[in-house]
Structure formats: structure tokens, C-alpha cells
Amino acid sequence: MTSRRDILKTLGLGAVATGLPTITFAKTDTDANFVLVILRGAVDGLALAAPYGDNDYRRLRGELALPAPGEDHGALKLDGTFALHPSLRGIYENFQNEEALLVHAVASPYRDRSHFDGQDVLESGATSVGKLRDGWLNRALAALGGSLGNETAIAMAQNTPLVLRGDNSVTSWAPSQLPDTGDSTVHRLQDLYADDAFFATRLAQALKSQEIAGNMGSSRRRGNEAEQFRLMMRSTARFLTAENGPQIAVLEIGGWDTHANQGSVSGALANRFSILDGGLTALREALGAAWSDTVVAVVTEFGRTVKVNGTRGTDHGTATAALLVGGAVNGGHVIADWPGLKDSALQDGRDLKPTTDLRSVFKGVLAEHLLLPEAFIERSVFPDSGRARALRDIVRA
């Protein structure tokens, strides 16, 4: 038997309801937008941003080493040490325009190599697995307002990720997997939920979301993964720029677990980078003027081994790289307390050693961009994280 909650989750809605609660999304006193993109599967940070200036890089990376800047298909030079993967040309353009920055040798407090546990720590903001059961971004919403039917944050997914789960109300949206629903069905649902405040509000919210998404929500859209991600990013922009729209969005993209045939300038990982880059470019274009008020954080649960494994890939590691992109980013530089790649400097003799806590990146964005009080961040958003000091001057004044 299909429940009412299932109906709301799966409906492809094709009309705007009347007679339901008036729905708006919460907006605070700031025009700041924040987009969190989670790359699930553990991204190889040494491929995302190659430390080509490190004397041990080519020795350890072998066939996975990227050509140096200036060589054929060379990496895109950021400074004298680091260069972006050549598939990330849109992000590189942002970097040149001082609208992107790289944080390298970064990791959450997690030091084992389970995807599930690594993502748990990344999204909960805890110091260890299972210590917190809600998400750090949901806890942050307490300082931004929002309530049922008046949400500040949206998950661009069928299921709300852990980072947005908790006591504060959020909404979600994803393209419908079902044919569009006719007006008569919508009106019957209105009647069904008329005396149920929760479901009436959620139905009105779903209809409002469908109105904002427009034809991007059609179940008949088809295309490869790159096009689908670009469309999701364009839909994200529509929500962020809608009148009284949400100001926070969370997206996720998988496929980063490159144990075999990872490739270098081309191959499986290069293709993933192209998808990411195209999506971020689509978001920038679709946001228009709102891009100047936007910060996008691109993060993953942990990194990968420095050396190539026996199947021409990399295994689960520790530190990786993160990106901040957007018109509000004080970019054009790299943040890295670089530990080096000498054998004696590696974590557990195999991984890039972490020197920056990922929570420091999040703290900096929350304080400088969303203007959350630092005491609240320390007490409620990232408890027991005193050693992870917020990064400073990462957002334009």
C-alpha cells in the first residue's frame, strides 16, 4: 500500500495548487547563497590538484602523474607547487578571476578508510563515527530561521543527505521519475490533505518547487550524466534565485572510487572531473548576478593513496583537496600547509598527511559568508572542534 508520504515523495506534479497553505522559502537578512557539493567515493586530491612542484610527486605517482604546466595536456598552473587537472578548465577560469581557491592536504577528523563512516563524520561534523546523529549544516540552520513550509535549505536529491538532517526543517527536490500528474489528481490530493497541516504544507511546497523548477522537473528528460548534472545545477540556480527562495542547497555526485584504471589526463577520473566542471559552469551561468553572492564548497570524505596500486588505480587514503568556488570567494590562491611527499612524511607510510581540518573550511564559510556568530558555530554546529580554527579571509569583505 502506498502511503501519503510516498505519494508526496514520488509525484510528478504538473499544476499549481490553490486552497493550500501559502508557501515561501525563508530568507535571512543576507543575500548570501551557499551550495555544498559532496563528491561521494573519495576523490584523489593529488589528481584534482597535482603538487607538480614537489620533487617526490612524479616518483610516487608513476603513470598517474599529470604532465607539468606548459607540457602537452599539462596541468593548469595555480602557483609554483600546485596545478589543477586539465579537465577543470572552468574552475581554473574562476581561479584566474579570483573566484576560486584550493585547500590542499585537508581531511575531516576521520582516519580510517570506510566510505560509510567517512561520510558520516564529514556530514555530521563530529570528531568520530556515530558521535552525532544529525548534520552540521542542519544545526547551522537554527541561526538562519526557517520552519515547516518556510525552509532556508534544500537538498537537490530524492533523499535528504545526513548533512541536512536534524531538528530544523528543510525541503528537497529532484526530477520526477513518474509522468506528470493531471489537475484532477492534484485537486483530489488537496481534498485528502485539507485537514492535515503537515501533508497539506508538504504538498503545497512540492507544487511550489515544481513551479520553480519548470520543465527541468520533467520525468521525460534524458541525457548522459554530464547533462543531467548540468540540469541539476541549473535547477539549483532557479531555487536560489526564486523570490523568497532558499539560500542553501546541497547536491551530491558519486563515482569517485577509482580503484582501477583511474587514468591521468584522460580516463575514468578525468571524465568525472569534466562532469563536475561542467556542472559548476552551468551553475555560474544560471545564477547570473546572484553568482557574486554565492560560495560553493566541493568536498569529499577522504583522499586516496599516493602510490598507484596493482590495478592502475588508487586505494582509500587520508588527506585530499577541497575547492571553494563562487563570486563571493576571496580566491586566486592556494591554502596549504604542505606536508610534502617524502616517504617519511606520508600518513601511515602511504597517504597524503592531513594538515588542515575540513571543519576549518566550513567554519570560515559559516562565519564570513553566512554571518553566523562564531560562538554559536563552536558550541552548536561543530562541538568539540576547538583545534579546528576557522579559515580567515576566504570570503570577500
Residue 62 domain-assigned?
A: yes
CB neighbours of 395 closer than 8 A, spacing ≥ 6? 295, 328, 329, 330, 364, 365, 368, 369
Per-residue confidence (pLDDT) for residue 146, from 0 to 100: 73
Judged by DSSP in three states, 281 sits in helix
Residue 44 domain-assigned?
A: yes
What phi, psi does 373 have (nearest 5°)? -60, 135
Residue 334 domain-assigned?
A: yes
Average pLDDT, the chain: 88
CB of 315 closer than 8 Å to CB of 256: no
Residue 231, pLDDT above cutoff 70: yes
Radius of gyration of the chain (CA): 21
Residue 191 domain-assigned?
A: no
**Of 282, 336, 269, 310, whose CA–CA distance to 51 is shortest?**
336
Residue 331 domain-assigned?
A: yes
Domain of residue 140, residue span? 31-175+221-381
Per-residue confidence (pLDDT) for residue 217, from 0 to 100: 54
Which three cell numbers, joined as nine digits, stand for 295? Answer: 560560495
- pLDDT tens-digit profile of 285-333? 999 999 999 999 999 999 999 999 999 999 999 999 999 999 999 999 9
Judged by DSSP in three states, 60 sits in helix
Per-residue confidence (pLDDT) for residue 119, from 0 to 100: 98
How many helices and strands, by DSSP H and E, does the chain display? 12, 14
Instruction: For the chain, give the percent of residues with pLDDT over 70.
Output: 80
Per-residue confidence (pLDDT) for residue 203, from 0 to 100: 54
**Confidence at 150, pLDDT banded by 50, 70, 90:** confident
Residue 299 domain-assigned?
A: yes
C-alpha to C-alpha distances, 102 to 1, 21, 23, 84, 178, nearest whole angstrom: 49, 44, 38, 9, 40
Can you spell out the DSSP letters for 239-274? HHHSTT--SEEEEEE------S---SSSSHHHHHHH
Residue 200 domain-assigned?
A: no
Domain count, the chain: 1
Residue 197 domain-assigned?
A: no
Long-range (24+ apart) CB contacts under 8 A made by 342-348 are 342/56, 343/56, 346/306, 347/317, 347/318, 347/319, 348/318
- Answer with the residue of higher pLDDT: 179 or 223: 223
What CATH number is attached to the domain comprising 356?
A: 3.40.720
Residue 207, pLDDT above cutoff 60: no
Task: Report the distance separating Cα 87 and Cα 78, nearest Å.
Answer: 14
- pLDDT tens-digit profile of 360-397? 999 999 999 999 999 999 999 999 999 999 999 999 98
